A and B are shown apart, each in its own frame.
Chain A
Amino acid sequence: MPQPVSKRKALHEWKLYLFLVPALVLVCTFSYFPAISAIYHSFFRWSGGEAKEFIALENFTRALEDPVFWGGFLTIGILVVANLFKMIPAICLAVLIHRLRSDRWQYWYRVLVVLPMIVPGLVTLFIWKFFFNPNLGLLNSFLDASGMMPVLAFADRTLGWGGIFQEGIPTAWLGEPALIIPALIIWGFPWIGAVGVLIFLAGLQSIGTEVYEAADLDGVTAFQKFLHIELPLIMTQVRLMVVLMMIGTLQGYGLQFLLLGESGGPGGAGMVPGLWMFNRAFFAGEFGYACALGLFLFVVILGLTFINNKYIRVDK
């Protein structure tokens, strides 16, 4: 428990506080100022220039009745659930790396996991967009070469999927409303994010060896070790990743924008609240309304984070 410091002592070396000023200025300028500006402009009819008209809560009442905005939360909900499952490969890889006996091999595997981070995220998205290309993309080529396309076509005919998979006709992964959500889930396969792996690995490495020794003595199997020892002891990290994932998924729209365009793709199936906010601002020229949408999104994320912190406890 840190000891309280007297005011006199704290201010004795007051010049040291000046070192905080540059960071504070930057945070205020690039984080707080835009946020405050967004709150201010959400009360205006504003098309992004100098002209603005005060309209009080009109943007908010309109947002409450906006079916596209709230419909986007359904898509987000599906993506959040999918992303929860997509955390599993990272956890598994972290466990596998952790269990390697050789420190040298652990090091090299960590390097291999981290190396793809040098590729900018945007480039990865463009590569995946190319994968989804119906005529030249890797995904359709793989399905054809592996013989899975006839299987999918059969399933399509049998289950009545509407002819989205047909033999001899390239599948338009980003051109069919029914395939948009699967495409948004598939992207990033095998879903091993470096940041996640490293965070889980750090958690695993804080587990004492005596715990494993005790488990070995009790004859616990490898899977039981994972289930009863490793997973519970890294729940703090898992919870952190869940929070980060939820915030990222709720706020994010870059993926949808790059893959599907500003209208959310065919049928608007990929429209999410963040993308709708972007659409209203930059395509409809309704910046004030977009700010109001952003505030709603902020409230939703805040609410979910609060629920997560209050109710999802980790028993150490």
Chain B
Amino acid sequence: MRERIISSIGFALLALCFVVALARIGLKQWWLPAVEGKEQVTIRVAHWQLEGGVRDAFNAMAEKYMESHPHVRIQQLPVPERIFPNWLITQLVGGTAPDIIQIGLGMTEERKARYFLPMSDLVDLPNPYNAGTDLDDVPLRDTFFDGMESSFSQELLEYYGLPLSGFTVRMYYNLNLLREITGGESLPTTYEELTRLCRQTMDYAKRTRQKISPIAGSKYNAPLLMDRLSSSQTGDLAKRLAYDFLPNRPSTALLASAFRRGDWSLETPEVEAAMGLMRDLGQYMQPGFMQLMRDDASFYFVQGRAVMIASGSWDSTSIRQQADFPVAVGPIPVPAPQSDPRWPYSQGPLADSTVEAGVVMAITRASKHPEIALDFLYFMGSKPVNQLWTDVSGWLPSVVGVKPAEQSKGFAPFLDGFIGGFNLSFSGADGMRVYRNSINRLVSPQGSVDDFRTDLAKSYSSAIAEDLRRSSLGAVQIAQRNDTLLAALSMLAASGEDRASEKLDLLLQSSAGNDYGARRTPAVWKSFEN
């Protein structure tokens, strides 16, 4: 009897845990407070932004919406970035997708078209939740700082979703360390000041026998700095090599074609200056940084082992929450023109290369309540609620006229600068792979520009060719896909279908450009085979 009781305890514990778990899920998923006359609705919202502040911001928006819509429950589903693409395709194909999903990771144009509802018919109408603000009656598209470019699919010619935030990249500073090392809190504004701070940090570390690095690097953070430095030297070169670089960077086909012709190589002075600059700053990151992940660098910084770290505005809240020291933010300076004979190709300050908004939330076709999902989407994209978003998350706003939160003021986009050039991984996945495989030879203490160049040269040409081959196939696929759409639109336009002529005209421009690329890229690729 006693043995029976003892052996039942395990089963009883298991059963109890199961009941408790079931009850918790049941309360969350199925039970809703009764509201007279209205169907109980749950709207699920999924995203991958697990950075500090963002989930709180989503909760705040949801709570505010639910106050005025008691029959609706908004449920947030944060999914880790690493598994988001797999999770996404499983949900979409399985028909169990949440009502609203952040689009980006794991997204293809095909998936967008099949599984998400376009909003193109709504972009010229005002957002009802902007009533009473200065954006009252302003078309939805014009209420976002990027004109909803981030929501527009160039291939599909439709708008999908609304953006909630904007992103820029800056240098974060540990103000306590900065004060200890320099005696003040002035942030470097020039490249010379930046490197001087790095040298001062190394002297300080040696003097005090502390393991402190000037810059916390990783295979994620380092490229944010290095690509910027590299592009500061290759701006003019890019424009000379590729006549359409300014509008269409990176203009892979023309840069590759120029490489093939010998118009530039890994020994071109501008490219060499770019490599030298990357090595110059790379030596100030902690040894072996290229083997480290993003979290390692953040950990290093918030533990007070580095004075600076380069990252995006998306890390602002996370870093500030985890650091027990004050954090300041400043632009990443690049060498000024004629400031150093080693890097003579700078044009001047670089503009933030991206002005597209992010955190684009779109409605899925699987949503059982698309009209309520749309209403919540309008709500999130309205001026008052975007203000709430930025205040709680600490991220930049996406709606025109919304004041950035105090902590995100340093991230305001800088447009009064030149467009940078290209970096060596311009061609695509294989270019990136061989570049990453060789970069240790540039940035390691025993490395050098020559070592890096020699190592990269072994497989650089074939990597570019492989990227072009893939790009060619992609362009041909798009051309083929467009053919069916064009046929359909042509017939619809002839029959007078609403908007068909407008769509046909847009698609003709898009497909003509694509078809041009579908001929040019293979021609360049084939030249690599000869």
Residues of A within 8 A of B (CB): 45, 47-51, 53, 132-136, 162-164, 166, 169-177, 260-268, 279, 282-286
Interface-central residue, B89, B211, B292, by most chain A CB under 10 Å: B292
Q: Hey, which chain A residues are within 8 Å of B142, CB to CB?
A: none
Total B residues in contact with A, Cβ cutoff 8 Å: 38
Given contacts A174-B291, A175-B290, A284-B470, contact A133 B296 (CB under 8 A): yes
**Nearest neighbor of A171 in chain B, beta-carbon distance:** B288
**Nearest neighbor of B440 in chain A, beta-carbon distance:** A266
Interface string of B102-118 (1 = CB under 8 A from A): 00000010110010000
**Nearest neighbor of B300 in chain A, beta-carbon distance:** A135
Given contacts A172-B288, A172-B291, contact A266 B437 (CB under 8 A): yes
Interface locus among B150-158, B268-276, B428-436, B500-508:
B428-436
Looking at the assembled complex, report how far the CB atom of A77 sits from the nearest CB atom of chain B, in whole angstroms: 20
Contact indicator A49/B437 (Cβ below 8 Å):
no
Q: Hey, which chain A residues are within 8 Å of B59, CB to CB?
A: none
Q: Hey, which chain A residues are within 8 Å of B89, CB to CB?
A: 48
What are the 6 A-B residue pairs with the smallest beta carbon separation, nearest first?
A172-B288, A134-B288, A174-B291, A163-B446, A175-B291, A175-B288
A284 and B439 CA atoms in complex are apart in Å by 20
Contact indicator A134/B286 (Cβ below 8 Å):
yes
Contact indicator B446/A284 (Cβ below 8 Å):
no
Given contacts A134-B291, A135-B288, A171-B288, contact A176 B305 (CB under 8 A): no
A282 and B481 CA atoms in complex are apart in Å by 23
Contact indicator B287/A134 (Cβ below 8 Å):
yes
**Nearest neighbor of A174 in chain B, beta-carbon distance:** B291
Contact indicator B470/A132 (Cβ below 8 Å):
no
**Nearest neighbor of B109 in chain A, beta-carbon distance:** A49
- Taking a contact as CB atoms closer than 8 A, the residue among B110, B290, B445, B473 that contacts A166 in the complex is B445
Looking at the assembled complex, report how far the CB atom of A83 sits from the nearest CB atom of chain B, in whole angstroms: 23
Contact indicator B433/A263 (Cβ below 8 Å):
yes
A268 and B429 CA atoms in complex are apart in Å by 14
Contact indicator B292/A133 (Cβ below 8 Å):
yes
Confirm or deny: B338 has a beta carbon within 8 angstroms of a beta carbon on chain A.
Answer: no
Within 8 A of A (CB), among B43-93: 85, 89
Q: Hey, which chain B residues are within 8 Å of A266, CB to CB?
A: 290-291, 436-441
Q: Hey, which chain A residues are within 8 Å of B481, CB to CB?
A: 51
**Nearest neighbor of A284 in chain B, beta-carbon distance:** B429
Contact indicator B444/A51 (Cβ below 8 Å):
no
Q: Hey, which chain B residues are within 8 Å of A285, CB to CB?
A: 429, 470
Q: Hey, which chain A residues are within 8 Å of B444, CB to CB?
A: 172, 175-176
Contact indicator B477/A51 (Cβ below 8 Å):
yes
Q: Hey, which chain B residues are within 8 Å of A265, CB to CB?
A: 291, 437
Q: Hey, which chain B residues are within 8 Å of A267, CB to CB?
A: 437-438, 440, 455
Confirm or deny: B219 has a beta carbon within 8 angstroms of a beta carbon on chain A.
Answer: yes
Contact indicator A284/B430 (Cβ below 8 Å):
yes
- Taking a contact as CB atoms closer than 8 A, the residue among A135, A166, A169 that contacts B305 in the complex is A135
Q: Hey, which chain A residues are within 8 Å of B213, CB to CB?
A: 135
**Nearest neighbor of B292 in chain A, beta-carbon distance:** A133
Interface string of B195-217 (1 = CB under 8 A from A): 00000000000000001010000
Given contacts A169-B445, A263-B433, contact A135 B440 (CB under 8 A): no
Contact indicator B286/A135 (Cβ below 8 Å):
yes
**Nearest neighbor of B289 in chain A, beta-carbon distance:** A175
A162 and B290 CA atoms in complex are apart in Å by 18
Q: Hey, which chain A residues are within 8 Å of B436, CB to CB?
A: 261, 263, 266
Looking at the assembled complex, report how far the CB atom of B280 sits from the nearest CB atom of chain A, in whole angstroms: 18
Contact indicator B291/A263 (Cβ below 8 Å):
no
Interface string of B445-461 (1 = CB under 8 A from A): 11000000001000000
